[in-house]
Structure 1
């Protein structure tokens, strides 16, 4: 059984360390800077901070897993097909985005070698394989229903953190993690869709299981999934142990903020 060992690892310090690792002046000239997912960082930090390892090792675990997430997210930014007459700059951006994903992958392999933890290497490699297989399913499968699509999307969003939680014997956080990360993903996608910005998830929905649903109904359908997930988040977050208090505070703050923002976006939409 893993025992608790409290640590003083400010989230801002870990975030800054990740930013320093992924900084690359040449790549930043041509492609968008990688986004550090604060929701995943906060959950991950809460899972790892109260484990028996040294603060240095905990920090390296967190940075490594976040680099895996950034590499996965960066590869998602690559456009699915090459346009015949696209400008050279666009072609270069695509090529560099692929290289950036590989670059971040190389960084987490480097950090894994520093940790000297074969079990964690296996855990992350297995999770990456599962996530990539799920992404292929989401992009190419003909879903019977929106619910089936959302189930796979939830897995894609949460699987890496879930596997890490299981590795550290913290699987009690998994139901909360799955619902919270799906909620946040759908909120971002809905916001982009209503603002007529690029929304890959709405694009997949409208071309797939929701293709016969009217524009306004699609937004309403996604909103129903958001509300359902938020309710489950509220039920599960209160059950987390006391040493997850900073995560509870973070989530409650985000829920409160999103209620106001959600109403505003719906009015504008």
Structure 2
């Protein structure tokens, strides 16, 4: 029987609270609407399942992680290339402001004394993720393994921090595979014109041997081949990991979601 905190009603409640807290019409006009990361919600619910907090306090920690991640995702949209007109300049400024706004919300959610250890943990995690992103901007294509490790640290940074804090080693192992895979799939999506994120920039530099902040007909052939190989490896790793998880984890909505996700990925290839 699934834990009662994991039903869709709880997920929907958290997503609705995120929507209400993030609503700001002026910023949305330029930065767009930001949705709660539903996959992260499921992982965090499982991570906090046995934590010594009431439901409201657990929601505060989950929402704080969602807003910290939203801040990173929003700042990532800031184009690093040259600005050609005032509209682009204003959009860049307001996108940065939107990311800062989400950061302020995560900080406010952890204002209670009961969350002080987590606030400290998040501060260290944010610093670590920022340092990793700076390393990607200086990446010289020396190691694809190192690049994959950087993607893992950026994409699963908050869930890593919390799974370590709450001693959820098995959950950490699943998360590092899943969130790395999810990001690789995102970067492989074909578009006619792409403004490169720090991750896409590093992937392009490693595969194509060229430094650029924009690309046409993304992904280029070498980058796509590299991504295809990495995605296949991580899909196989995730399938094996889900086959070997403990009965406790198998009896959760998170496992059901991941198992269905793997099944959907398989059916797409048939």
Given the superposition, is the C-alpha separation of residues 259 and 127 from structure 1 closer, same or farther in structure 2, using an over 3 Å criterion?
same
Q: 2: distance between equivalents of 1:197 and 1:12?
A: 34
Aligned to 1:181: 179
Unaligned segments of structure 2, at least 5 residues = 211-218
Partner residue of 1:242 out of 238, 248, 255: 248
1:175-214 C-alpha deviation (Å, 9 max, x unpaired): 21011001111111112xx2335253444322x2112599
Partner residue of 1:220 out of 199, 202, 225: 225
Residues 31 and 74 in structure 2, CA contact (< 8 A), matched pair in contact too: no
Q: 2: distance between equivalents of 1:10 and 1:65?
A: 16
Residues 162 and 171 in structure 1, CA contact (< 8 A), matched pair in contact too: no
Q: Calculate the TM-score normalised by the size of structure 1.
A: 0.86
**What SS does the aligned partner of 1:196 have?**
strand
Residues 185 and 231 in structure 2, CA contact (< 8 A), matched pair in contact too: yes
Q: 2: distance between equivalents of 1:81 and 1:219?
A: 23
1:85-105 C-alpha deviation (Å, 9 max, x unpaired): 31x222111111111111111
Q: 2: distance between equivalents of 1:178 and 1:153?
A: 10
Aligned to 1:256: 263
Aligned to 1:69: 69
Cα displacement (A) at 1:6: 6.2
**Correspondences of 1:159-170 after superposition (within 5 Å):** 159-170=157-168
**What SS does the aligned partner of 1:142 have?**
coil
Aligned pairs, number = 254
Q: 2: distance between equivalents of 1:115 and 1:49?
A: 20
Q: Calculate the TM-score normalised by the size of structure 2.
A: 0.85
Aligned to 1:195: 191
Aligned to 1:100: 98
1:5-52 C-alpha deviation (Å, 9 max, x unpaired): 964662111111111111111111222222422222221122113323
Residues 187 and 226 in structure 1, CA contact (< 8 A), matched pair in contact too: yes
Q: 1: distance between equivalents of 2:247 and 2:101?
A: 37
Given the superposition, is the C-alpha separation of residues 14 and 197 from structure 1 closer, same or farther in structure 2, using an over 3 Å criterion?
farther
Residues 207 and 222 in structure 2, CA contact (< 8 A), matched pair in contact too: no
Report the more deviating stretch, 211-220 or 247-256: 211-220
Partner residue of 2:202 out of 201, 204, 208: 204
